[in-house]
Amino acid sequence: MGILRMAENIVERAPDLPFDPGMRSGILALAYLHKAMAIGVMTTFFERAPVATNPDELAVFLSRDSALAVAIANLDNALAIIAATPPSTAFNTSVKGSRLDLINTIRAYRARYLLFRGDYADAITAANSVSISVASYFSYDATGSNPIFASLVQGNPTYAARDNLGYPLVEAGDARIAFFLTPNAATSLPSGIPIDRTAGFFTTATSPIPVYRPGEMALIRAEAHIRLGNLAAAVTEINTIRTKTAASDAVGIGANRPAYSGAVTTAALLEEVYRQRAAELYMSGLRLEDQRRLGRPAPPASMVERNRVYWPYPDQERNNNPNTPPNPPA
């Protein structure tokens, strides 16, 4: 909610500040992007989510479908602003930073949320608009360190990554296992679960993290094609990811696997999409959303892949806002 409020403040106040048009358009587009991202994160973990803050009013919780529609509208606003007035060189160098590709990031998140909302044809179109040859990163330095490195590697971490990317469908020989994890013989306490050290984008305090991973676009198209009944097209997109090498990927992720040889049915291909998303998008915060959407085993019947379907709402929110919905059963 803090990020959402900060983004709202920028949207409200930037038009009145003495910026040149190119600086103002860039700042507004970036704020709309962060508004959309904040809403999207809340829909990933909660059954209902607020989409606006107001110090004088209690937050209202919308359905995930409605909240995602608001997130997409914010991304549409960002694209319209950039189209009308391209961001200035000063914005790109002194505000945005050199490693964040703003327009491709906006387009990528728009494709993601269209897929989550079930707008499959539009999701394909949106994914096609993203340049997969371009990388877009969150950058870190001595004053703001890589958060995954800080929480899973540095100091005395409380959490650790499970072996084999932490899911039962991982394919032996998938090169993404070695990209993201450094094997060791450690186990977690007290459960004794085998754990590894994180690698990939999380090796140092200043390692940049992709804002999105270009391979996600092919997997968005694959799933959308399956939902629309275009199974052959889905297999083509899946093979784009299965056979991709690290050298051919803008952020250096490659599976190095043979082409798909399984059944060409809706159920089998959705399982393969999950297999590829779980590896390609490892530690990107999307797995819980993917598990629900793609029908993976869930509690209370199964705790193998996850122990929640949705998170409970924070006590602080419930104690201060009677609009807070009831907690989900799991």
Buried b (16+ CB within 10 A) or exposed e, 63-99: ebeebbbbbbebbebbbebbeebbbbeebbeeebeee
Q: To which H or E segment does residue 279 belong?
A: helix 266-280
β-strand 48-50 against 61-63: which pairing, if any?
A: antiparallel
Distance CA 323, CA 48 (A): 11
Q: What's the Cα-to-Cα distance from 295 to each of 41, 48, 171, 276, 309, rounded to whole Å?
A: 20, 20, 19, 15, 11
Domain boundary among 47, 70, 98: 98
Distance CA 24, CA 91 (A): 8
Same domain, 144 and 274: yes
Q: Looking at the chain, how many residues does it have?
A: 330
Same domain, 82 and 219: no
Sign, CA dihedral 15-8-140-98, equals negative
- Report if residue 254 sits inside a domain: yes
Same domain, 69 and 159: no
Same domain, 149 and 246: yes
Same domain, 190 and 266: yes
Q: Per-residue confidence of the chain (330 residues) as pLDDT tens digits?
A: 789 999 999 999 998 889 999 999 999 999 999 999 999 999 999 999 999 988 888 999 999 999 999 999 999 999 999 999 999 999 999 999 889 999 999 999 999 999 999 999 999 999 999 999 999 999 999 889 999 999 998 887 888 899 999 999 999 999 999 999 999 898 988 888 899 999 999 999 999 999 999 999 999 999 999 999 999 999 999 999 999 999 999 999 999 999 999 999 999 999 999 999 999 999 999 999 999 999 999 999 999 999 999 999 999 999 999 999 999 987
Same domain, 88 and 184: no
Same domain, 176 and 283: yes
Same domain, 191 and 249: yes
Q: Are 68 and 113 in contact (CB under 8 A)?
A: yes
Query: What CATH number corresponds to the domain at position 183?
Result: 1.25.40.900
* DSSP result, 206-267: T--EESS-THHHHHHHHHHHHHTT-HHHHHHHHHHHHT--GGGSTTS-----PPP-S--SHH
- Number of domains comprising the chain: 2
Domain boundary among 65, 98, 131: 98
- Report if residue 177 sits inside a domain: yes
Q: Rounding to the nearest 10 degrees, give the CA dihedral for residues 245, 121, 44, 300.
A: -90
Distance CA 225, CA 218 (A): 10
Same domain, 147 and 92: no
Q: To which H or E segment does residue 21 belong?
A: helix 21-45
Same domain, 57 and 155: no
Same domain, 160 and 267: yes
Residue 14: give the domain boundaries. 1-98
